Amino acid sequence: MNFPKIAAQMYTVRDFCKTPDGIRESLKKIKEAGYDAVQVSGIGPIGHQEMKDMTDELGITICATHISFDRIKEDTQDVIRQHKLWNCKYVGVGAMPSPYSTSKEGYVSFAREASEYARILHDNGLQFIYHNHSFEYQKFDGITGMEILLQESDPEVFGFELDTYWVQHGGADPIEWIYKVSGRMDVVHFKDMAVQVRDGRVQIMTEVGEGNLNWKGIIKACAETGVKWAAVEQDICQRDPFESLAISRRNLKEMGL
């Protein structure tokens, strides 16, 4: 089995990436934490060439991005230029615009509209990937929003980027869903879930391997379905986010990744 390569999702350290200098320092720390690749998301303004020069200098691969669906629609050619310059195949959308998510018809509309733009990206050598949260697991007439996306989108061009935490948070099984999108997912988000008992019992995001998700099963499913990249993301950290990324990387190495 071929296991996915590991990357750091820069959204984890977004508070430190508001300026080019901050981005450079953050990339250095990410490299020091044991990552040779990143997913670019949530960072402040920076030129496409400047970002490429920084990552090239540090020996870091940009494996994927997150950008808005509106930008894909309104600035398609610049999106293509940006990703080709970065040698980055995967164009990620972090969430659908909220008007689509309130009805079955909205999900169908998004799946079909996104597929049209995904076709343009595909024809230019790129791959559209959709990142879920938990709201996509709301049911409409007995079917979840994620099922609608799976059924109504063009399987040749519309890819998925499952987030293990958010699938679990939505009441679904991350392992089952990895197999469901088999052949349509090259990038996955590794994010763990724990329970914190303080002012009630709440689910929290934690470092990979520090929570309760079935990582042995998740990693096996990713390997068996051909996932190429696993981006470590932690939206909310209980400590310094760079330390959290380092803990996740160490744990993943102990798991054989």
Report strand pairing: 5-9 vs 229-232. parallel
Contacts of residue 95, defined as CB under 8 A and 6 or more positions apart, other chains included, come to: 131, 132, 133
Cβ density class 199-225: b for 16+ within 10 Å, e for less = eeeeebbbbbbbbebebeebbebbbeb
How many other CB atoms are there within 10 angstroms of residue 245's CB atom? 27
Q: 77-106 pLDDT, tens per residue?
A: 999 999 999 999 999 999 999 999 999 999
Element (H, E) at 200: none
DSSP state of 13: G
List the helix and strand counts (H, then E) for the chain.
10, 12
- What CATH number does the domain containing 36 carry? 3.20.20.150
Own/partner long-range contacts of 78-86 (Cβ < 8 Å, ≥24 apart): 79/121, 80/120, 80/121, 80/124, 80/126, 81/48, 82/48, 83/126, 84/124, 84/125, 84/126, 85/48, 85/49, 85/52, 86/40, 86/48, 86/51, 86/52, 86/55, 86/62
Whether residue 123 is predicted with pLDDT greater than 90 in this model: the reply is yes
- What does the pLDDT average to over 9-33? 98
Q: Calculate the CA dihedral of residues 234, 10, 188, 98 and round it to 10 degrees.
A: 80
Q: How far apart, in whole angstroms, are the C-alpha atoms of residue 73 and residue 50?
A: 24
Report residue 127 as tokens.
């791959």
21 to 18, 27, 29, 181: CA distances (angstroms): 8, 10, 13, 38
- What does the pLDDT average to over 239-257? 98
pLDDT band at residue 199, thresholds of 50, 70 and 90?
confident
Cβ atoms 189, 9 nearer than 8 A: yes
Whether residue 198 is predicted with pLDDT greater than 90 in this model: the reply is no
| From 41-45, 171-175, 200-204, 245-249, the region with the lowest mean pLDDT | 200-204
Counted domains in the chain: 1
- What does the pLDDT average to over 168-176? 98
Q: 28-37 pLDDT, tens per residue?
A: 999 999 999 9
240 is in which domain, residue-wise? Answer: 5-254
Secondary structure (3-state) at 187:
strand
Amino acid at 195: V
